[in-house]
Every structure is written in C-alpha cells, then in structure tokens.
C-alpha cells in the first residue's frame, strides 16, 4: 500500500489482505521518500499497539439540518416549532442543538423560500420541493473553469473556482509546467483565456484539494522519533534499538541517520522546543517552523502566521505546510526580533480574530460555496456562475448560518485549533527558539519534496538554492549500478555521489559506463548475451538499448549523466534532452525536477 497517513487506515488496508478469517493479513507500505518512511514506521507501530485516530463527529451541522427540515415539512405539511425541535434533537448529532439556533436557521430558510416560518410553525414554501430533491447529496461539488490557450483555442487545463477568483487580467500563473498570463476571465462561460509567457515565473494554484490528514498525535510521535535519534547519535546500541522498535529497514535507516547527522552539524537539533529558522534570499524572507502539529494543525498554523506577520510587520506572506513544519515566504526579509514578535504577539492577535482569519483562507471559500449549494442559496447545477462573484457572495452571507457552518466545517475538516493552542502555550512559556540561518536546514528542506509543494516550488518564489540543494542531496543519496559496456568485466552498485570516483572503467579504462537502477540489473546479462551474438526478444532488446544509450550519455557527459539518470522516471531519452538544454548545474537540477514532476503527473494516464 502507499503511505496510509493514518494508523486506522493501516489496519483497514492491511486487514483486508488475508481475504479469509483463517489467514494472517500481511501488508507492505511503500514510502515515497525519506520522511514518508519515518511517517509510515510511526503509523505502523501505532496501528500494532492499537493507538488509533479518534473519529471526529460532525455535531449540529446546519446544511444537513436544513435539508432534513425541508423533508419534514414536505412529509407533514405543517409542524409546530416545539414538535420540530423534539424530532430533531432525538437524533444524536443534534441532541445538544439549541432552540435559538434552530429558530435562526428556520428564519434563514424562510428568507430563501425553502420553508415558511412565522416563529411558531414551519410549513412548505415555494421552493421546498425543488430544494429537497436537488440538494439531496452531501458530496462536495468542485466547480472549475476551463483554461483556454488564446493562440490555439485549445483547452490546456482547469482551475478551481477558488483559485480563479483570486486572479485578474494580466496575472501570470503556472499550468502544465509553463507560464501563462491571464487575458480574460469569463465565469459565465466557464473559461479563462490565457497566452503563453516566456522568461517569467507565475503563480502555481495553491488549493490542492483534500487528502487524508496526518493527525497531530502521529505527527508528534514523528517529532519524538527525530528527537530520540538526535539524542542517540553517539550510541550505536541505542540507534539499533530505535531501528528495531520502529521496524525501519537498514538501508533506509542509514539514510535517515545521515539526514539527522547533517541537521546536527547545522546546530539545529530538535530538543522538545519549537524550532524556528529564519533565512533570506533574493529580497524575500523565509521562515520555517518545526511544529509537528499534523496536517490540519499546520494548515491552521500557517494561515494564522501569515495573518500575524501582516498584523505585526505589515508584510504579506505566502505559506506552505506539511504535517511536520510550516514554511512562510514573506515579501521582504524579517528580522529575528520581528519573527519573535509575530510568534508571541501576532499569533495571539490572529487567534483573537480567528473567524476573520478563516474567512481569508481557500478552505473557507471551498466550504462556503458547497454549503451555500447544500442550503439552497445557490443552484448546485450552476456552481460556476455562483463562483464568479465570490467576494460578493461572501459579503452577502457573512454572519448567516451558511457563514457559520462554513467556519465550523473548516475547523472540523481542514484545521485543528486544539493543537495550535498547545503550541501557543509552549511559545508563551518560552519553550521555543528562533535561529537565523544562511539556508534552511536539511529537515526544513524536506517540505520541498512534498507533492503538493514540489510541482510549483521554484515558480512559487521559494529560494531556488534551497530547492536545488534538496534535489541534489536526494539524487546523490540514490543508488545506481555502474557497468562497463566495453569489457563487460566490471560493475559496481554505488551511491550517485560516489560515482565521481569512477570516471572510467577501472578494469579497461573505457568511459563506456552504463548507468542503471537496481531494478534494471537484469539488463546486464542480456547485454552480455547480445554482445555474444545471441538472439533476443523485442522486450529484451529494449533493456539492451537502455544499457547502450546510458553508456553513450556517460561518455558525453560523465557525472552529470549519472545524476540525471538517477532522477525519478528519467530514462536515457529524457536524460539526453535534459542534458542538451542544461549548460550548468543549476539548470540541470531545475530540468531534472521539472521532468520528475511531469513524470508524476502523467504516470496516472499510462496504460498498464
């Protein structure tokens, strides 16, 4: 299985593996990166010991209640407020519903024509039937706009309405790995007209949809594991006990220790306090907070910090978050003093204005429009049109049950207020440290490897040096097989960083060194057979061609060829194109990253 994100999902997925009650269920988690491995190990251990995520119950959901009220008046015709209240509060999710909140909802539905309510009785309104049957589904709608190339009139992609609502004519965006400038936004027809722009960087779409969140307890244990590794660095016995405790594979554990050791060399060990790194590059500021609050906690923390930075310093900031850290990119560098003021005073201000902070988030835009559709404010069949005047809609619905439910839904689905409050208690108690650094530490740079960030990371304005350093470290830690395609008498499995020691075959001196991944090792005996003149199948010849072409690349480009072929999903043909347009190391790493992103995006469309 892929990384499960939650311990309960480990049990659900692996538990189905046996297929029979008499069989033992076994499963393998395949991590997508180093931190995915740490996360998976923690989740597997939590699953084994039965430490599962607690279910989160939606209580007093007003959009669901609105639909049920319409159904009740549709069935009974007329209902007294007292009877309606008794019926509703018999259901567990509404056992604690206040009469005043129900009355407020009924008055709102009366304004919409969904029901008629005079303060004492509720009965059918002019829209009861149409609303009830058109709003039966609670599945969120995801309206989008088609993006059309003005030159070819070809649809090149789609944008979520929430992102499109933030755009204007002349704004540059990133789509499909290329930069486009907005020519026109026609929400009525559901189209965004663009033309390609070269030589400039645009803005990648920020809202990336929903996925399973890592809860704060699991994230906290990941942080605890990092801390224990720092403490045990000088003790091989303690390290081995930790490896066995979390069932980490030896090779992966070795790479993890290398990362932790590099972090320690920076003087930035995790010691139980909140670690905040402050850096600067190209006129912008970069703030990394090692918070370990989980997906929802860090989503809220990032949103609050951006608000806090603006309130304290007047500086706007973009933000990224993963379950273990938050990254802020400010429009100008911030001093350590300003960052400390943002943490201590700014976060308090942001929490005091929590509802306004949430209203500024993309999550709120998504929830507001969906809840407006479920409560009959907008026609769910015309979500694109409703998304057009989003700012107008937000003002119109402010302080209504739709607004209230959207905020509650954000706090339930997207944000974790409790974990952020715990972090704030640590900050108020002085359990944090702010450190100014030349470049972000290895642990902080792990955020650059997260899929939601990676696809737009360079274009988003994140420091190019930090991104490329992270890419280089990952590539150099990968393993490849070097094989002499001339004498066929030498091969070695080495890390990419060690390939510099082999500019030629140590046996015959030839530079015809083929570069293969471990899963391509079967190509070597096939190549030897082909050299002897044996006849091979078409499929076998494809592997032979890989050996030949990669050896040609090594002869022409040396170590750069090894580095490129170590990229995820990069074969000799793609590597040749990358190397041809990469005169220096910076452009090479950028092009490798772009090719990896394209491979990840396009792989799902391939046929088996």
CA angle 118, 120, 124 (to 5 degrees): 60
Beta bridge partners of residue 286, listed in sequence order: 279, 329
pLDDT for the residue 460 = 40
Q: Are 97 and 29 in contact (CB under 8 A)?
A: no
Q: Where do we find the tokens 């790479």?
A: 255
Q: List, in sequence order, every beta strand (DSSP E) within 102-154.
A: 115-117, 121-124, 144-149
pLDDT (tens digit per residue) in 396-414: 899 999 999 999 999 999 9
What is the Cα–Cα distance from 18 to 328, expressed in whole angstroms? 45
Q: Which residues contact 131 (CB under 8 A, 6 or more apart)?
A: 67, 70, 112, 114, 376
Handedness of CA 240, 246, 252, 255 (dihedral sign): negative
pLDDT (tens digit per residue) in 583-607: 888 889 888 887 876 775 555 444 3
- DSSP character at residue 120: S
- DSSP character at residue 212: P
What is the Cα–Cα distance from 445 to 466, expressed in whole angstroms? 7
What is the Cα–Cα distance from 233 to 35, expressed in whole angstroms? 18
Overall average pLDDT of the 143-161 stretch: 75
Q: Are 502 and 551 in contact (CB under 8 A)?
A: no
What is the Cα–Cα distance from 308 to 348, expressed in whole angstroms? 8
pLDDT (tens digit per residue) in 362-378: 788 888 888 988 898 88
Overall average pLDDT of the 471-479 stretch: 86
Confidence of residue 177 (pLDDT cuts 50, 70, 90): low
Overall average pLDDT of the 110-138 stretch: 90
Q: Are 43 and 4 in contact (CB under 8 A)?
A: yes
Q: Give the rounded percent of residues in the chain with a pLDDT score beyond 90.
A: 54
pLDDT for the residue 153 = 72
Confidence of residue 189 (pLDDT cuts 50, 70, 90): low
515 has a pLDDT exceeding 90: yes
Which H or E run includes 516?
strand 513-516
Q: Where do we find the tokens 């022409």?
A: 556
Overall average pLDDT of the 177-197 stretch: 71
Per-position DSSP letters for 216-234, written without gaps between them = HHHHHHHHHHHHHHHHTTT
What is the Cα–Cα distance from 3 to 34, expressed in whole angstroms? 12
Q: Are 66 and 115 in contact (CB under 8 A)?
A: no
Overall average pLDDT of the 61-67 stretch: 94
Confidence of residue 205 (pLDDT cuts 50, 70, 90): very low
Q: Which of 321-325, 384-388, 492-496 is predicted with the least confidence, judged by mean pLDDT?
A: 384-388
Which H or E run includes 277?
strand 274-281
pLDDT (tens digit per residue) in 83-97: 999 999 999 999 999
Confidence of residue 199 (pLDDT cuts 50, 70, 90): very low
Q: Is 272 left (phi over 0), alpha (psi -120 to 50) or beta?
A: left
428 has a pLDDT exceeding 80: yes
204 has a pLDDT exceeding 60: no
Overall average pLDDT of the 111-124 stretch: 94
Q: List the one residue out of 182, 243, 313, 238 whose CA is nearest residue 45.
A: 243
pLDDT for the residue 360 = 86
Q: List the one residue out of 532, 566, 555 whose CA is nearest residue 484.
A: 555
What is the Cα–Cα distance from 366 to 444, expressed in whole angstroms? 29
247 has a pLDDT exceeding 70: yes
Q: Is 176 left (phi over 0), alpha (psi -120 to 50) or beta?
A: left
What is the Cα–Cα distance from 431 to 426, expressed in whole angstroms? 5
Q: SS3 string of 252-271?
A: HHHHHHHHHHHHHHCCCCCC
Q: Which residues contact 215 (CB under 8 A, 6 or more apart)?
A: 6, 53, 294, 295, 296, 416
The domains found in the chain, sorted by start residue, are 62-134 (1.10.10.10), 144-196 (no CATH), 274-472 (no CATH), 478-603 (no CATH)
Q: Are 303 and 319 in contact (CB under 8 A)?
A: yes
Q: Where do we find the tokens 């030949």?
A: 548
For the ranges 130-134, 525-529, 590-594, the maximum mean pLDDT occurs at 525-529
77 has a pLDDT exceeding 50: yes
List phi, psi (to 5°) of 606: -75, 150
202 has a pLDDT exceeding 50: no
User: How would you classify the pairing of strands 317-321 and 325-330?
Assistant: antiparallel
pLDDT for the residue 141 = 64
201 has a pLDDT exceeding 90: no
Give pTM, 2 decimals: 0.72
462 has a pLDDT exceeding 50: no
Q: List, in sequence order, every beta strand (DSSP E) within 141-190.
A: 144-149, 155-160, 172-175, 178-186
Q: Is 60 left (phi over 0), alpha (psi -120 to 50) or beta?
A: left
Q: Are 514 and 553 in contact (CB under 8 A)?
A: no
Mean pLDDT, the chain, integer: 85
Q: List, in sequence order, every beta strand (DSSP E) within 331-463.
A: 432-436
Overall average pLDDT of the 561-589 stretch: 90
pLDDT for the residue 186 = 66
pLDDT for the residue 225 = 96
Per-residue b/e over 221-246, b at no fewer than 16 CB within 10 Å? bbbebbbbbbebeeeeeebeebbeeb
206 has a pLDDT exceeding 70: no
Q: Which residues contact 41 (CB under 8 A, 6 or more apart)?
A: 225, 246, 247, 248
pLDDT for the residue 166 = 53
List phi, psi (to 5°) of 131: -65, -45
């Amino acid at each position: 299985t892929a990384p499960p994100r939650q311990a309960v999902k480990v049990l659900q997925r692996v538990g189905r593996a046996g297929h029979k009650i008499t069989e033992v269920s076994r499963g393998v988690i395949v991590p997508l990166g180093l931190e995915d491995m740490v996360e998976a190990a923690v989740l597997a251990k939590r699953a084994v010991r039965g430490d599962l995520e607690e279910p989160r119950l939606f209580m007093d959901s007003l959009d669901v209640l609105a639909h049920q009220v319409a159904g009740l008046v549709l069935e009974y015709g007329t209902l007294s407020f007292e009877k309606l209240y008794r019926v509703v509060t018999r259901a567990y999710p509404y056992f604690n519903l206040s009469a005043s909140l129900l009355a407020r909802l009924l008055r709102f539905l009366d304004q919409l024509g969904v029901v008629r309510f005079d303060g004492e009785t509720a009965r059918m309104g002019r829209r009861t039937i149409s609303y009830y049957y058109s709003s039966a589904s609670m599945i969120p709608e995801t309206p989008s706009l088609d993006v059309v190339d003005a030159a070819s009139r070809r649809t090149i992609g789609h944008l979520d309405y929430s992102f499109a609502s933030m755009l204007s004519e002349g704004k540059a965006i990133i789509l499909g790995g290329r930069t486009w400038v907005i020519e026109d936004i026609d929400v009525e027809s559901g189209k965004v007209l663009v033309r390609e722009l070269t030589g400039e960087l645009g803005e990648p779409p920020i809202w990336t949809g929903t996925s399973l969140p890592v809860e704060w307890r699991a994230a906290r244990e990941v942080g605890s594991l990092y801390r224990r590794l720092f403490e045990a660095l000088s003790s091989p016995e303690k390290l081995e006990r930790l490896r066995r405790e979390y069932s980490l594979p030896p090779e992966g554990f070795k790479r993890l220790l290398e990362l932790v050791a590099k972090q320690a060399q920076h003087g930035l060990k995790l010691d139980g306090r909140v670690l905040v790194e402050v850096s600067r590059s190209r006129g912008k500021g970069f703030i990394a907070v090692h918070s370990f609050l989980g997906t929802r906690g860090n989503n809220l923390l990032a949103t609050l910090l951006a608000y806090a930075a603006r309130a304290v310093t007047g500086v706007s900031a973009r933000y990224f978050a993963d379950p273990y850290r938050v990254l802020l990119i400010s429009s100008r560098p911030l001093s350590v003093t300003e960052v400390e003021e943002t943490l201590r005073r700014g976060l308090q201000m942001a929490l005091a204005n929590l509802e306004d902070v949430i209203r500024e988030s993309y999550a709120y835009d998504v929830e507001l429009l969906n809840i407006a559709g479920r409560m009959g404010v907008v026609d769910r069949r015309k979500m694109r049109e409703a998304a057009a005047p989003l700012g107008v809609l937000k003002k119109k619905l402010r302080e209504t049950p739709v607004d209230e439910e959207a905020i509650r839904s954000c706090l339930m689905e997207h944000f974790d207020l409790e974990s952020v409050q715990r972090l704030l208690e640590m900050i108020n108690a002085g359990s944090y440290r702010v450190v100014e650094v030349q470049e972000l530490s290895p642990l902080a740079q792990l955020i650059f490897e997260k899929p939601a960030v990676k696809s737009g990371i360079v274009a988003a304005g994140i420091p190019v040096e930090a991104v490329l350093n992270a890419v280089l470290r990952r590539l150099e830690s990968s393993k490849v097989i070097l094989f002499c395609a001339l004498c066929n008498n030498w091969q070695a499995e080495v890390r990419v960083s060690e390939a510099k020691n082999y500019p030629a075959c140590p046996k015959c001196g030839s530079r015809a060194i083929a570069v293969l991944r471990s899963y391509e090792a079967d190509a070597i005996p096939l190549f030897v057979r082909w050299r002897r003149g044996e006849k091979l199948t078409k499929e076998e010849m494809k592997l032979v061609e890989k050996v030949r072409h990669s050896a040609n690349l090594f002869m022409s480009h040396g170590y750069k060829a090894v580095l490129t072929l170590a990229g995820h999903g990069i074969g000799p043909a793609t590597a040749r194109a990358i190397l041809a347009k990469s005169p220096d190391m910076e452009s090479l790493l950028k092009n490798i990253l772009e090719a990896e992103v394209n491979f990840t995006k396009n792989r799902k469309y391939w046929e088996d």
